[in-house]
Structures are given as structure tokens and as C-alpha cells.
Chain A
Amino acid sequence: MRILVNGLQCDVRATTLCGLLNELGYEDQKVGTAVNQEFVRSKDREMIKLKEDDAVEIVTPRQGG
């Protein structure tokens, strides 16, 4: 399936957001997630089914002003 992950086109096997995080190597990392600009809570990631052309954001803590 072809989706956008952090603005980049990706071919992925995962069908859920949780599966995507594991496939891309985030595993136990503290991340925030959104699909198509909608926030997805960590506890809901397993339920969120991904579909073609979805836009996924995966973010982590960073310096900020």
C-alpha cells in the first residue's frame, strides 16, 4: 500500500497505524501520531486501519522556542 509518512511517499505492508510504527522502527518510542490531520491517541493506533494515500504524521519531542 502506498501512503504518505511524514510527507514522503512510502510503500508499506502494515494495515494499521500500530503496525506501521513497528514496521518503520518506532516500536517503543514516545511518538505523537495523526492520520489525515486527525490526532490518533496511542491507545487507538491498533484500531486505526490505513488505506491508500493516507497521510500519516509521526512526531517526537524536539527543541522549541
Chain B
Amino acid sequence: MSDADRLRLYGSEFGSRLLIGTARYASPAALEDSIRASECEMVTVSLRREAGGTRSGESFWSLIRNLGVKVLPNTAGCRTAKEAITTAQMAREVFATNWIKLEVIGEEDTLQPDVFGLIEASRTLIKDGFYVLPYMTDDLVVAEKLLDLGCQALMPWAAPIGSGRGVNNPFALRALRAHYPNTPLIIDAGIGAPSHAVAVMEMGYDAVLLNTAISRAGDPVAMARAFGLAIKAGRSAFLAKPMTPRDMAEPSTPIIGRPFDQLL
């Protein structure tokens, strides 16, 4: 990726357009090797309860810090704006960053975002100085509200978290992209294969955030590398402006001069 084509978010620049989650890896080594293989520069982390004296979170945090990647704390599992706000505030102190991947879950089967809670939490957190990256549906009205509040990037889903289905509603994602050509848009959730990542990058999405597609692959490190390449390929294809599809065939070899044609 050229220096001119870097991902810009909240005044920071990134050479990679792939963000990856750190959960569900078989081992810390698999996580570390996958992050390196993907060449990503930002990873998501969370906060969870821990009994005193167990120090189970320390080794994970030490591993991430040593990799030198930017951390993006999430509010995963929060079901109300209040829970998300308090979690974000705790994350800011623990991880020493005002960036937050804001999730407010509204429905358990699909883990669909509660967009009303999302807007409420965004309003409070932005006033409090957070750089909010909201996990949202592909709804244009919700997008407008979040941008009005001061979100400088949006993270629509492609499909439910962990489903690996790829893009459920390409029309909605194309509409969102067309409606906000200058807003950083990151596809978050539902990507299952590198081909899905290529597809959304070819649509013009700025980046992709995924977790399970790598961590639950048979060979996570190889899959991380594949996703890194897919993101680059999709971005290059978007910048190269793909041809417009046609309904009917059009010969690619010149017609003129074809042998055996009757010229009269």
C-alpha cells in the first residue's frame, strides 16, 4: 500500500486496512503469529471480570504490548448504553487509550446492535473525549445520527458476529458507501473468508475488522496471511476502478479481420 493510500482514523494513519480481534485463538502463540502474519496494526481487546490474585489477564496484555500494535478496546457484551459507557471508561484507564469500539447488543441470537443504545452511548462518550468506532447495522439513518454526534468513522456489520456468512445485504452496504464517500467505513462482523473481504474492499470500504474467520481457521496463521493479502487485493482493485458488469456478452477479440467471414 502506498504512503498516499493510508487508512486515516481520528487523525491517525495506518498502513494496514485489516483490524483483527484477539479472541478464540487456540494458544497465545497462535494469536501472536497470526497478528504478525496479517500485518495488521490495530487489534481489539476487552475487559472481563477476574478473581483477585489470578493475574490471568496480565500475560495476555503483556503479549499485546510487546507486539507494538495499537489496541482498540471494545464494549462487547454490553446490553445497555450505561453498561457500555462504564465499560468504555474502565477501558480508557486500563488500556490508556480514548479509542473505543462501541458495541451495545440488542438481540442475543443475532448479536444485532441496539442502535438506540448505541446512539445514546455515543453521545455521552464523544462529549467525554472518546474516539468512538460504533458497531452498527447498515442503516443510513443510524449512520447519519452517529455522524451528527461526532463519530468520525462507522463500522457496519456484513452479517452477524461470528457467523462467517459474508455480506448479507450488498445493496445496503453499497448504499451506505455511496452515501458517505468521504467517511471512513469499516466492515465489522460477519466476514468468513478472504473472498468476502475482497468483495467489501472492492465496494470501496476502507477497512475490515474480523476475528473468528482467522482464529477458528484450521491454520490461523496461514489464514491471517491470506486475509492480509485479500485486503490489499480488494483495495487495489477498488482504486483501479473495476469494469461495469453487462448483461450480455461482448467479444474481447477484435471482430474485424476474423477469418471465414463473408465480406460482401
| A contact residues vs B (CB 8 Å cutoff) | 6-7, 21, 24-26, 29-34, 37-39, 41-42, 57-65
Contact = CB atoms under 8 A, between A and B. Distances in A.
A32 B90 CA distance: 5
Interface of B: 21-25, 31, 44-53, 55-58, 60-61, 64, 73-74, 76, 82-83, 85-87, 89-91, 93-95, 161-162, 211-212
Interface centre among A7, A41, A61 (most CB of B within 10 A): A61
B50 to A, nearest CB: 4
B57 A65 contact: no
B57 A61 contact: yes
A62 B87 CA distance: 13
B90 A59 contact: yes
Closest 3 CB pairs of A and B: A64-B46, A32-B90, A65-B21
B74 A65 contact: yes
B25 A37 contact: no
20 contacts: A24-B51, A25-B52, A30-B57, A30-B61, A34-B89, A57-B86, A58-B50, A59-B94, A60-B57, A62-B47, A63-B22, A63-B31, A63-B60, A64-B21, A64-B23, A64-B44, A64-B74, A65-B22, A65-B161, A65-B211
A23 to B, nearest CB: 8
Contacts of A63: 21-25, 31, 45-46, 60
Nearest to A64: B46
